[in-house]
Amino acid sequence: MRASPNDLAFLRRLRPLAARELRLTILAGAMGGAMVVLQAWWVAGLLDRALVGREPLEALILPFAILLGIVTLRAVAAFAADRFGFAAAMRVVPALRRALLGKLGRVGPSGAAALPPGEIVSALSDGVRAVEPFFSRYLPATAQAAMLPVGILLVVAPLDWLSALVFLVTAPLIPLFMVLIGKGAEALNQRQWLRLQRMSGHFLDALQGLATIKAFGAGARMVAEIGATAERYRHDTMAVLRIAFLSSLTLEFFSTVAIAIIAVLIGFRLLWGELDYRTGLFILLLAPEFYGPLRTMGTAYHARMEALGAASRLVALDALPEPVVAGGTLRPEFGRGVAIRFEDVHLTYPDGRMALQGVSFAIAPGEAVAFAGPSGAGKSSIQALLLGFVGPTSGRILVDGHPLETLDPAHWRRHLGFMPQRPKLFATSVRGNIAPGEVDPDDGAILRAAERASVAGVIAGLPQGLDTAIGNGGRQLSGGQASRIALARLFYRDAPLVLLDEPTAHLDDDSEALIHAAIAGLKGRRTLLVNAHRPTSLALADRIIRVENGRIAVEEAEPAEAAGPC
């Protein structure tokens, strides 16, 4: 959780997006500052006339009216500064989310696998949101802290050099001490952060694992352990906080003592007649305002820390390497099946993992080929290459004789059908799930695809048919039903090349049989590539290619034997 210069640079780069709003908020802040000084001057003048000049209230009506005007303007300026600050953040947040989603699209599924999905989601939702206070609070507060104290110093110096000297001496001490103490606390904080994460993780896990804990009769032990963990955490955290709070103690100490000194110094010179009452009171009234912005800085600094914490997650996403997938402009017409040829293909992922080390094979149009081998052998990488999620490090991939990198990627993808290990249902209608990319899907074709995927009966049983919401928040479907919806998606696309990655790995026998029967309908009519573990899946293929350690191990011509009786 260390705030790296990268994270800060990342936040700074976003600044121009909100340049106009930031200027306006600073302008409103400056106006508010001017009103602060003016109000102090006016109040001092009023009291001078009433107490020293002994003017009656009736004579002071106009000055009081003007004071009301100043007070009102001050409130308006405060409101405007707040509003523009938030408006600045509202410029940055959507633009940032857009940019990161674009980045995610360019990184693609293979590249994104480098981060856990939960981390990407939290970066895009909470992470992007945590950037908000940096723009709405921290940047305006910094500007205010730079302007108002200087302004007050410039006003006070010609009036009373002694008070100005007190300001001048104490003001730089405050940030200095805060930084010194803050640094120490931050170092402790880094460790604390990991502990907090682990404590929360421990608690959350314990909640999630309640059944397991109960099964092992460890309930009472776990209650005690949760209590003990929290106690330990309290003990350690308080040690950190006692030091961390010293930085605000410093600020309070210097500002309060400085105000007290100024009050006493002014008092004596008033007694000795060296200073007039109005000036003395004016400076006394300004003194708290001099330290006020520095104090706001203290709280705004937390906004900065939080934003930096979030930025490190955003930077992690932003720094994901984008796979080099060369694309051309060729848009050939494909027949019913596609011929595929791998020539000495190597693939090394950006993290250095060697996935494929010289893979060569050829698949004829309409052929059904199963890829077998232990997990991690390179089966999924072969599919990722064909899907265009990654590009080969060396070697050639030919489809219908065209090098893959000469094809228009969008055109090529439109001719692919694909089903991953755990197909994803989106939180939308059945129709939207079967035809995700279509603006105007053809219901007839959707129902025919559902029929072939033997999920038409399930859909007919849903309350709103194709309009029924499924996925997260919608109607819950069983794993087998979800897989068949995904299969209908594939049939609807009716692509000449079909790629299946362990299509039945997580299903029971009945669902598996339904899916296999549906897939078998494609045999001979489309080029079919299946990554498979189970003998029953292998039996779908005309031919089995075994992959081991990123190389083709054996080619078996006859799958029936390998499958065994079942």
Residue numbers 416-455 binding other proteins by CB under 8 A:
416, 418, 420, 423-424, 426-427, 436-437, 439
In the complex with other proteins, the residue whose CB is nearer, 369 or 495, is: 495
Question: Can you say how many angstroms the Cα of residue 359 is from the centroid of all Cα atoms in its chain?
Answer: 37
CA dist 311 and 8 (Å) reads 8
Q: Provide the residue type at 69 as one letter.
A: G
**Which residue number, 252 or 343, has a Cβ lying nearer to other proteins?**
252
Q: Which of 5, 461 has the CB closer to other proteins?
A: 461
Closest CA to 366 of 158, 510, 543, 172: 543
Q: Does 162 bind other proteins (CB under 8 A)?
A: no
* Element spanning 19, H or E: helix 19-47
For other proteins, the binding residue among 206, 385, 447, 477 (CB under 8 A) is 206
Per residue, the 3-state secondary structure of 389-441, as one string, reads CCCCCEEEEEECCEEHHHECHHHHHCCEEEECCCCCCCCCEHHHHHCCCCCCC
Nearer to other proteins, 149 or 417 (CB): 417
Q: In this chain, which of 24, 26, 92, 93 binds other proteins, going by CB under 8 A?
A: 93
Element of type H or E holding 357: strand 354-363
* Residue 475 found at the interface with other proteins (CB under 8 A): no
Q: In the complex with other proteins, which residue's Cβ is closer, 69 or 524?
A: 69
Residue 521 main-chain phi, psi, to 5 deg: -65, -20
Contact 63, 45 (CB under 8 A): yes
Residues 273-332 that bind other proteins (CB under 8 A): 273, 277, 280-281, 284, 288
Q: Extract long-range pairs of 161-164: CB within 8 Å, 24+ residues apart.
A: 162/265, 162/269, 163/262, 163/265, 163/266, 163/283, 163/287
79 touches other proteins (CB under 8 A) = yes
Which one-letter DSSP state was computed for residue 136? I
- Between 374 and 524, name the residue whose CB sits nearer to other proteins: 374
> Among residues 480, 496, 550, 559, which is the contact residue for other proteins, using CB under 8 A?
480
Alpha-carbon distance of 305 to 335, in angstroms, equals 58
H/E stretch holding 106 reads helix 61-112
Q: Which sign does the torsion angle of CA 17, 21, 27, 28 carry?
A: negative
CA count, 13 A, side-chain hemisphere, 1: 17
The correct pick among 452, 493, 526, 546 for binding other proteins (CB under 8 A) is 493
**Residues of this chain, 171-190, that bind other proteins according to CB under 8 A:** none
Strands 394-399 and 340-348: antiparallel
- Both tokens of 97, joined, read 């989310």
The residue whose two tokens read 């994460």 is 197
Residue ranges in 513-552 that form contacts with other proteins under rule CB under 8 A: none
In angstroms, the CA 22 to CA 28 distance is 10
Per-residue contact track with other proteins, 16 to 45, x per CB under 8 A?
-----------------------x---x--
Return the biggest CA–CA distance within the chain: 113
The least CB distance from residue 280 to other proteins, in Å, is: 5
- Minimum CB distance to other proteins smaller for 97 or for 516: 97
Report in angstroms how near the CB of residue 249 gets to other proteins at its nearest: 4
Candidate ranges 102-110, 355-363, 449-457, 552-560; the one touching other proteins (CB under 8 A)? 102-110
Give the Cα separation of 371 and 376 in Å (integer).
Answer: 12
- Beta carbon nearer to other proteins, 103 or 346: 103
Q: Which of residues 211-250 bind other proteins (CB under 8 A)?
A: 211-219, 221-224, 226-227, 230-231, 233-234, 237-238, 241-242, 245-246, 248-249
Closest to 393 in 3D by CA, of 352, 335, 338, 341: 352
Please identify, using beta-carbon distances, which residue of 245 and 524 lies nearer to other proteins.
245
Question: From the list 4, 20, 53, 64, which residue makes contact with other proteins (rule: CB under 8 A)?
Answer: 64
Write down the least CB distance from residue 297 to other proteins, Å: 17
Would you count residue 263 as binding other proteins (CB under 8 A)?
yes
How many CB atoms within 10 Å of residue 306?
16
- Which C-beta is closer to other proteins: that of 175 or that of 358? 175
Question: What is the smallest separation between the CB atom of 387 and other proteins, expressed in angstroms?
Answer: 6
Q: Which of 31, 259, 316, 462 binds other proteins (CB under 8 A)?
A: 259
CB closer to other proteins, 5 vs 56: 56
Residue 558, CA atoms < 13 Å, CB-side half-sphere: 3
Interface positions, 369-398, toward other proteins (CB under 8 A)? 374, 387-389
